[in-house]
Structure 1
Amino acid sequence: MKLIMSPASPFVRKVRVLAAEIGLTAEIEELPVVTTPVDTDAMLREANPLGKIPALVLEDGRTIYDSRVITRYLDVRAQAGVYPEDRLWDVLVLEATAEGVLEAAVLMVYEGRIRPESLHYPPWIEAQWAKAIGGVQAIEARMMELLSGPLNMGQIAVACALGYLDFRHPGRDWRSGCPQLAAWYADFESRPSMIATRPET
C-alpha cells in the first residue's frame, strides 16, 4: 500500500498512529507531497479527485480516501477491533467530534496562510475556534468514558486533534476547563505511536 501524505497533516497522523498501533506500518509506503487547497499536488489529484490528503493506494491500484475510510479499511484488514461493534456508534460519534475539531482548526490555519491578509475576517476565525473548543468541551463533559478501556479509533482521533491544537494553535488554551481530558492526553501522547508521528513543522 502507498499512503499519499504530509507529515504535518493531523488527518494523515490519524492513519499513521493507527498503522503503528495495529502493526501495519511496514506494509505502507509513505509518499510525502506538498499541497494546499489552492495548489494541489498532481499525484494527489490523480489519486483523489477532491485533492485532499490522505489517500491510500491499494495493491490493486484502487485508491481509498478520506482518513475515516482509510482507518476503517486498515482496521478490517488487520482485524484490530478499533471500531468495536458493541460501542460502534459511540466510537463513531467520538471520532466525528474529533474530526470536527480538526476541520475547524485547519480552516483557521488556512485563513492565516492562504487568504490574503487584507481579506482576513476575525469573526470567522473566532467562529471556527468556537466550534473547535466546543467539541473539546463536549468530549470533557460527555465522552470521557469512551477514552478509557481498550484502544479505539475515537481515542486516536481525539489525541491527534488535541495534538494539532497544541501544534498550530499553542496560544489558545484548550486545557482550561478540561482537566480530565488534559490528564488523559498527557498519558496518551506518550505512546510510541504518538511520539513517532509528532509533527515538527
Structure 2
Amino acid sequence: MILRSAPPSPFGRKVTIAASVLGLTDRIEIVPADTNNEADALRTQNPLGKIPTLVLDDGQTLFDSRVILEYLDQLAGGGRIVPREPGPRFAALRLQALCDGIMDASILQVYEARYRPEGVRHQPWLDYQAGKVARGLAALEADPPQPLTDEPHAGEIALACALGYQDLRFGGTWRPGHRKLVSWLEHFAAQVPAFEQTRVLA
C-alpha cells in the first residue's frame, strides 16, 4: 500500500502511528504529496486533493484519516484501535472527532497566515478557529484520558497528534495551562515509540 502524506500533517502522522501500533508499517510505503501541485497524482487519487490518502494494493484509494484508521484496524484483525463494543467504541470515536476538530481548526489558522497577505487576514476568522482549539483543550484538560495501559485506540492517537501539532505550529503555548494533558502526552510518548519517530521540527 502507498500512503500519500507529508511529514508535518497531523492527520498523516495519525495514520503512520496507527500503522506502527498495528504492526503494519512494513506494508505501507510513504510517498510525499504536494497538495499545492496540480500535477501531483494526489488529485487523481483523491478528488479533494487532501492528505492523507491511502492507495490500496488494487489501486483503490481511501481517505480521510478516520476511514483509513478503520481500514487498518480491520486489516490487523479488528477491535484493536477501534473497539468493537459500543461503549468503548463510541468513546474512542468521540475523542477522535474532538481531536480531529482541534487539528482542523489549528490548520485553518496556519493556512490563514500562510496564504493570505498580512493586510487581508481576517482576525475574526482566526479568533473563531482559535476558540475551537481553546474550548477543545479545556474540555480535555478537565477530563483527560487515563494513561495508557495497553495499545492506544484511535481517539488517543488523534489526541497525541493534535497536541503534537500544537507544539509544531504554535510553539507549545498550550502547555502551561494544560498540565494534565502534558503529563498524559509524556506517558503516551514513552509507550508509543512511533510518536517520537514521526515528530518533525519545522
- How far apart are the structure 1 equivalents of 2:144 and 2:166? 19
Count how many residue pairs are aligned between Structure 1 and Structure 2.
197
State the Cα RMSD in Å. 1.6
Give the equivalent residue in structure 2 for 1:31. Answer: 31
Alignment of 1:115-134 (within 5 A): 115-134=116-135
Give the equivalent residue in structure 2 for 1:83. Answer: 82
On the 8 A contact 2:5/2:33 being kept in 1, the answer is yes
User: Identity rate of aligned residues, in percent?
Assistant: 42
Which ranges in structure 2 are unaligned for 5 or more consecutive residues? none
Give the equivalent residue in structure 1 for 2:65. Answer: 67
- How far apart are the structure 2 equivalents of 1:40 and 1:103? 23
Which ranges in structure 1 are unaligned for 5 or more consecutive residues? none
- How far apart are the structure 1 equivalents of 2:47 and 2:73? 24
Give the equivalent residue in structure 2 for 1:21. Answer: 21
- How far apart are the structure 1 equivalents of 2:164 and 2:157? 10
Alignment of 1:1-201 (within 5 A): 1-36=1-36, 39-40=37-38, 42-79=40-77, 81-86=80-85, 87-145=88-146, 148-150=148-150, 151-170=152-171, 173-190=173-190, 191-201=192-202
What secondary structure is seen at the aligned counterpart in 1 of 2:4? strand
On the 8 A contact 1:94/1:143 being kept in 2, the answer is no
Summarize deviations over 1:55-97 as a string: whole Å, max 9, x none: 0010111000001100110011012511112301111000000
* Equivalent AA in structure 1 for residue 21 of structure 2: E
What secondary structure is seen at the aligned counterpart in 1 of 2:157? helix
Summarize deviations over 1:2-50 as a string: whole Å, max 9, x none: 11111111100000011111111110011102224xx555311000001
- How far apart are the structure 2 equivalents of 1:41 and 1:183? 43
On the 8 A contact 2:55/2:62 being kept in 1, the answer is yes
